[in-house]
Chains A and B, each alone.
Chain A
Amino acid sequence: MLLIPCPWCGERDETEFRYGGQAHVARPLDPNATGDAAWAEYLFMRDNPKGWFRERWNHAAGCRRWFNMVRHTITHEIASVYKPGDPKPELPE
């Protein structure tokens, strides 16, 4: 089990969290003016890296807030967590 550091509550068991997929996926500002292909790209297409990944998590059983986390998809190592609106951190080497 992962020990995930919520940016507000501190370290909690993974079972308290929900996974929210890739972070920093911006919703098109004007959906009506967005073509089907671009809408499908926004809705369905996600990166699937073997390595470091910026992703969203929700502290569902705790403070119930969303935050972002940089996690390694192979080793599960957690490089950093940051609050929504915080600048995107560089990915580790």
Chain B
Amino acid sequence: MANPALFGRRRSPLQDHDAALVRGAVAGPRGVTLKEIPHLAQITLRGDADDADFIGAVRAALGFELPLAANTVAVSGDVSALWLGPDEWLVVGAPDSETDLSIRLNGTLKGQHVLVVDVTANRTVLELSGPSGRGVLEKACGLDLRPRAFKPGQCAQTNLARTVGILELGQSGAWRIYVRNSFALYLADWLLDAMAEYAIDAAL
């Protein structure tokens, strides 16, 4: 479990990449912006979706229902749960809430055959927003991301620019990309490069 005394000293993969992220931002009707949302709390949760005790205990801990439909997200306040597999979810919370989330889940799930692991240090989150966000992402990803196929509240684990990430489309229309820390700088630079063409259009 994370040691709260260390929260102030941790680093995020893109914390020294601000200048490039700002420089790469594109304004206007075809605009697109990339930023990092660092240090979101992330908990891997595994259990039997058909077990009412498991579902009930998670509801008691989080205050909302786990999403049971494949590739969907349930959100309540600043906590969300992403479906990653038929018995696996990623619980995401505000920075520094991983210890609290772990304690709550371990508390209500005590004695059950489940898995609760703090994976906060595993990934960082990139956010791609703006009218051209989908267009940029489509260059990195083979999934059908058009609105008729990929709706707000959906998520997917998939290949992104030759790395693996979790995609989430928020209600605001912004895309979140959960990526391994060690691949974050690579993926950010890949996306910034993919964003460049929209800047050329904007300048014409």
Contacts and interface: CB of A to CB of B under 8 A. Distances in A.
Interface of A: 8-10, 12-13, 15-16, 61-65
Task: Pick the most buried of A12, A15, A63, A65: most chain B CB atoms within 10 A of its CB.
Answer: A63
A8 B142 contact: no
Contacts of B158: 12, 16, 61-62
Contacts of B12: none
A64 B70 CA distance: 13
Nearest to B164: A61
B159 A63 contact: no
A51 to B, nearest CB: 29
A63 B142 contact: no
A13 B71 CA distance: 16
Interface in B60-85: 70-71, 84-85
Interface string B73-102: 000000000001110100000000000000
Nearest to A62: B157
A61 B157 contact: yes
Interface residues of B, dominant DSSP:
strand
Contacts of A13: 142, 159
Interface of B: 70-71, 84-86, 88, 142-143, 156-159, 164
Contacts of B71: 9-10
Given A63-B88, A63-B157, 16 more contacts: A8-B86, A9-B70, A9-B71, A10-B70, A12-B142, A15-B142, A16-B158, A62-B156, A62-B157, A62-B158, A63-B70, A63-B84, A63-B85, A64-B157, A65-B85, A65-B86
Contacts of A62: 156-158
Interface residues of A, dominant DSSP:
loop
A63 B84 CA distance: 6
Contacts of A10: 70-71
Contacts of A8: 70, 85-86
B159 A61 contact: yes
B142 to A, nearest CB: 5
23 contacts: A8-B70, A8-B85, A8-B86, A9-B70, A9-B71, A9-B156, A10-B71, A12-B142, A12-B143, A12-B158, A13-B142, A13-B159, A15-B142, A16-B159, A61-B157, A62-B156, A62-B158, A63-B70, A63-B84, A63-B86, A63-B88, A63-B157, A65-B85
